[in-house]
Structure 1
Amino acid sequence: MIRARLLAGMVCVAVAAASCAVNDSFPAPTHIAAPVQAEPYLDAEALVSLASGVPPPVVAGSPEAAADQRGSLRWIALEDSDRWRLAQTHAEVRPHLAVQHFDCPLNTRLAEDAPPALVRLLDRSLRDASVASNAAKAVGFRPRPVADDPARRACIRVDDTLRSSASHPSGHATVGALWGRIMAEVAPDEAGALIRIGDEIGVSRVACGLHYPSDVAAGQALGIALFQAVRETPDYQADLAAARAEVAQARTLGRVNPGCAAERAAIGQIPS
């Protein structure tokens, strides 16, 4: 009961600033109009329930923590590589810009003229992910890799607030897993590739030195649970239908993202 009340309190705070809580390293540029803020698809009770299902972080000094540390350190070998640069790109989760993450499987360029229904779909689900992941973070604090090792490089600009915030679960991994599966419903013919891109957004956080592998795994599991819940709501189904029509039209326009070859090569880079 105490834990449920704590999480409910976190939901009330997080709803007010859902999107910026996930990615405070990329402030909205003044020359681009951000999408109108929308309500999450799920209510507070549902988000509390999903957040309560996130397992606690690994115990410091345990074999699991040691394995996590080894998994994190492997990615240092790819600093400044193409995979590192893709991780920098994946840090962007403002929906009107983040649509670009899914360009390559769709052979289009969505951010050039971001489809409004698709942006709304991602915006509302981002708020679900942000509220749930931030509520789960409040239960058990774990430092980020860049906090455990102040000499560790991050692939994006890191201020004191981000450096000292909780690593578990990864909010970006939650968003990525949720969005990948949503995009798979938007364009079912490329479902596998779209899900993979969403999951790679979580992997990018390990490459960035901002989360440990188990933090990403927990975030991805939460994202999958959120997807299963939001897809049952009537509002989601209405937004999905509109987004499907928009994306189908966008795929006929002949626009392409020139970075797709580099993205495919980068995803193939795995540290030894």
Structure 2
Amino acid sequence: MKYRTGVAAIAGVLMMAACQANGAAPAAESASLPPTAQAEIGEMREGSGILNGYLGAQRLPDSAALLPPPPVEGSAAAMADLEAYQTTRALKDTPRWTQAQADNELKFPQAIHSYSCALGVGITEEGAPHLYTLMRRTLTDAGFSTYRAKQMYQRTRPFALLEEESCVPHEEEMLRGDGSYPSGHAALGWAWGLVLAELAPEKADALLQRGYEFAQSRMVCGVHWQSDVEAGRVMGAATVARLHSDPVFLAQAKLAQAEIEAARTAGAVPEGCGAPEN
């Protein structure tokens, strides 16, 4: 999908974004924007490393309305969740377990390294500031889209219910107080895959596979059930659908797409990715 927006329109919506997100310009200025539009899309919340999303709380999709309740204990669906979870226990201390631990990390730039590899372009603040900001802001929108249902159902996470170790023992105390259904990581990981697949359709398969596996890492990790992960993907897709009607997102997506194309033209490749993706 090509994001078509004129330079003047982009300038206007990015100036509006600066007001929305209380920010200043990305480190690398875009040559396609006039100086008055070189404003940062979001301001880091002090100490958190999280940017304001594009949608804001009032425009997020409502997970409590969109999703059915999680499986009832003792039901066939709950038994299927348990069986699926148990198949992942053999993965402990394997490379897949290590990947699940890496996929738990949401701090930037570590959070998006594997997506850079799938994209074949480095997603960095210096080299692709609009793409980098797009990833950070969509993380917020997709992740927080899950919280109404999380708070409504307060489902117990697998490691807590079964008294087993997760792949992130240092986070278990916090996770015990955070509802399992739906998965916020799955929502944002799938949203990232969808957005990047639109920006770089020639890499869509690799990017969507990365988004799918990022979500599956939550069950491998022992912190979510399969139905949590599947519901998270629904919310990720619902968030991306909402973003398609947001002029600021669309404007920044166009600039991010141009950064990807420029990096490809220059022959730039991300570091630390091993063999390039097909």
Which band: TM-score by shorter chain? 0.7 to 0.9
Whole-angstrom distance in 2 between the partners of 1:144 and 1:87: 16
Partner residue of 1:124 out of 137, 148, 161: 137
1:8-31 Cα deviation digits (max 9, x unpaired): xxxxxxxxxxxxxxxxxxxxxxxx
Shift of 1:141: 1.4
Equivalent position to 1:163, from 138, 163, 176: 176
Q: Indicate the residue corresponding to 1:201 in structure 2.
A: 214
One of 147, 154, 166 as aligned partner of 1:153: 166
Distance 2:221 2:116 in 1: 22
- Displacement of 1:95 in angstroms is 4.3
Q: Matches of 1:35 and 1:101 in 2, distance apart?
A: 22
Instruction: Give yes or no for contact 1:72–1:207 (8 Å, CA) kept in 2.
Output: yes
How much has 1:44 moved relative to structure 2?
A: 3.1
For residues 38 and 119 of structure 1, the distance between their equivalents in structure 2, rounded to whole angstroms, comes to: 11
> How many equivalent residue pairs?
233
Larger Cα Rg: Structure 1 or Structure 2? 2
Q: Give 1:114 shift.
A: 5.6
Alignment of 1:84-103 (within 5 A): 84-103=97-116
Query: Deviation digits for residues 178-213 of structure 1, max 9, x if unmatched?
Result: 110111122121112111211211100011001000
User: For the structure 1 residues 249 and 34, does the alpha-carbon distance in structure 2 shift closer, same or farther, using more than 3 Å as the test?
Assistant: farther
Counterpart for residue 272 of structure 2? 258
Q: Shift of the alpha carbon at 1:167?
A: 0.7
1:231 alignment counterpart: 244
CA distance in 1, matches of 2:48, 2:163: 35
Q: Tell me the distance in 2 between the aligned counterparts of 1:86 and 1:112.
A: 23
1:225 maps to a residue whose letter is A
Counterpart of 2:195? 182
Which residue, 212, 215, 220 being the options, matches 2:233?
220
Output the amino acid matched with 1:178: A
Could you tell me the percent identity over the aligned residues? 34
Q: For 1:102 and 1:254, how far apart are their aligned partners in 2?
A: 15
Give the drift of 1:255: 3.2
Deviation, 1:263, is 9.9
Instruction: Find 1:74's aligned residue among 62, 65, 87.
Output: 87
**Per the alignment, do residues 200 and 135 of structure 1 end up closer, same or farther by CA in structure 2, a change over 3 Å counting?**
same
> Per-residue deviation at 1:101?
1.9
- Where structure 1 has 5 or more consecutive residues not aligned to the other structure, the ranges are 1-32, 265-272
What is the RMSD of the two structures over their aligned residues, measured on CA atoms?
2.7
Amino acid at match of 2:190: A
Give the CA deviation at 1:94.
Answer: 3.0
* CA distance in 2: counterparts of 1:136 and 1:74, whole angstroms: 26
Q: CA offsets per residue over residues 221-244 of structure 1, 9 Å max, x none?
A: 111111111122111111101111
- Cα distance in 2 for residues equivalent to 1:35 and 1:232: 28
SS at match of 1:224: helix
Taking structure 1 as the reference length, the TM-score comes to 0.76
- 1:215 shift after superposition: 0.4
The CA distance in 2 between the partners of 1:69 and 1:114, in whole Å, is: 44
1:50–1:225 contact (8 Å) kept in structure 2 = no
2:71 corresponds to which residue?
Answer: 58
Q: Is the 8 A contact 2:191 2:237 kept in 1?
A: yes
TM superposition shift of 1:154: 2.4
- Partner SS for 2:240: helix
Q: Is the 8 Å Cα contact of residues 89 and 220 (structure 2) preserved in structure 1?
A: yes
Asked if 1:47 corresponds to 2:49, the answer is: no
Does the 8 A contact of 2:61 with 2:242 survive in 1?
Answer: no
What's the CA shift string for 1:144-168, capped at 9, x where partnerless? Answer: 1110122333246324122332110
